[in-house]
């Protein structure tokens, strides 16, 4: 806690950083160093300062707890159930780490979609954070598991409104399988391979490249790229 800053005991911020790797969504969790509770990880989050803007608090808390800077965080939901703080051990841990008497706490959740590049994956080297599969989450404090579930639903809503969101999870060049896996994870369904490829070919903004995978045991797949300019032109004409 910064000297001279006073924490507000009833409002917190929790940040959900979602990435896609190895055919599944992964979320960034911070480690809890406290032998008195069985939970060892949590979402990056904390109480806000009394005179602090929420968006500023989200950026500060994320940087302080993970080292991540300058990511686009979007507020997506508030969680205010009285049951959030019904677990006595969770509350005692919070009071111990913040030196603030905790009661009912409303948290404002922020979401960021990430390409899991070398820089972000390297965060695990400091042994205070880790990328965890959303299908194999550890026992999380408060309602952090529910926040992750709601974050995935929010991503689905975003994609329904703006299909380009899907490419936030992909590298600059990707295969048809890479793209299909992201869709399957978002919508929790299996897509027919042939129909999916036909759909891809019909979309002008998915551009095939004169390049294929190298040094793979299976048949080398072709690479594609997302053309933002073409997508924006198409999207603007449809909304005209």
- The confidence score (pLDDT) of residue 134 equals 94
pLDDT digits 0-9 by tens, 62-88: 999 998 888 899 999 999 999 999 998
**Is the distance from CB of 87 to CB of 142 less than 8 angstroms?**
yes
CA neighbor of 89 nearest in space, from 42, 155, 159: 42
* Cα–Cα dist 168/41, whole Å: 26
- The confidence score (pLDDT) of residue 182 equals 95
* Cα–Cα dist 115/158, whole Å: 17
Would you write out the chain's pLDDT as a tens digit for each of its 240 residues?
555 588 999 999 999 999 998 889 999 999 987 655 666 899 999 999 999 999 999 999 999 999 888 889 999 999 999 999 999 889 988 998 889 998 899 999 999 999 888 888 888 887 789 999 999 999 999 999 999 999 999 999 999 999 999 999 999 999 999 999 999 999 999 999 999 999 999 999 999 999 998 877 788 899 999 999 999 988 776 554
* Cα–Cα dist 134/140, whole Å: 12
**Is the distance from CB of 206 to CB of 200 less than 8 angstroms?**
yes
The bridge status of strand 41-42 relative to strand 45-49 is unpaired
- The confidence score (pLDDT) of residue 34 equals 65
- The confidence score (pLDDT) of residue 115 equals 87
- The confidence score (pLDDT) of residue 106 equals 96
- The confidence score (pLDDT) of residue 2 equals 58
- The confidence score (pLDDT) of residue 240 equals 46
pLDDT digits 0-9 by tens, 228-240: 999 998 877 655 4
**Domains of the chain, CATH where assigned:** 7-161 (3.90.79.10), 163-238 (1.10.10.10)
* Cα–Cα dist 130/41, whole Å: 9
- The confidence score (pLDDT) of residue 112 equals 95
**Is the distance from CB of 39 to CB of 90 less than 8 angstroms?**
yes
**Is the distance from CB of 201 to CB of 224 less than 8 angstroms?**
no
The bridge status of strand 7-21 relative to strand 106-114 is parallel
Q: Which two tokens stand for residue 127?
A: 């042994």
Question: Tokens 């897509």 appear where?
Answer: 191
Task: State the CB neighbour count (10 A cutoff) for residue 131.
Answer: 20
* Cα–Cα dist 2/32, whole Å: 20
* Cα–Cα dist 132/124, whole Å: 11
- The confidence score (pLDDT) of residue 238 equals 55
The model carries a pTM of 0.89
**Is the distance from CB of 18 to CB of 135 less than 8 angstroms?**
no
* Cα–Cα dist 213/215, whole Å: 7
**Is the distance from CB of 143 to CB of 108 less than 8 angstroms?**
no
Task: State the CB neighbour count (10 A cutoff) for residue 41.
Answer: 19
């Amino acid at each position: 806690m910064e000297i001279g800053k006073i924490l507000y005991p009833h409002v917190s911020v929790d940040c959900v950083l979602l990435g896609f790797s190895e055919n599944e969504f992964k979320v960034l969790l911070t480690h809890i160093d406290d032998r008195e509770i069985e939970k060892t990880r949590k979402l990056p989050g904390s109480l806000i300062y009394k005179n602090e803007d929420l968006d500023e608090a989200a950026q500060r808390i994320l940087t302080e707890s993970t080292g991540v800077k300058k990511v686009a965080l979007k507020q997506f939901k508030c969680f205010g159930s009285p049951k959030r703080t019904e677990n006595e051990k969770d509350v005692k841990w919070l009071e111990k780490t913040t030196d603030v008497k905790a009661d009912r706490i409303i948290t404002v959740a922020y979401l960021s979609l990430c390409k899991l590049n070398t820089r972000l994956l390297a965060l695990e080297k400091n042994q205070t954070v880790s990328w965890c599969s959303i299908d194999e989450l550890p026992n999380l404090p408060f309602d952090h598991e529910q926040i992750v579930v709601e974050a995935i639903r929010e991503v689905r809503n975003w994609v329904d409104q703006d299909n380009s969101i899907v490419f936030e999870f992909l590298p600059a060049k990707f295969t048809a399988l890479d793209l299909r896996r992201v869709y399957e994870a978002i919508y929790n369904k299996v897509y027919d391979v042939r129909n999916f490829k036909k759909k891809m070919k019909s979309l002008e903004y998915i551009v095939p490249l004169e390049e294929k995978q190298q040094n793979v045991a299976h048949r080398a797949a072709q690479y594609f790229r997302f053309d933002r300019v073409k997508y924006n032109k198409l999207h603007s004409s449809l909304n005209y």
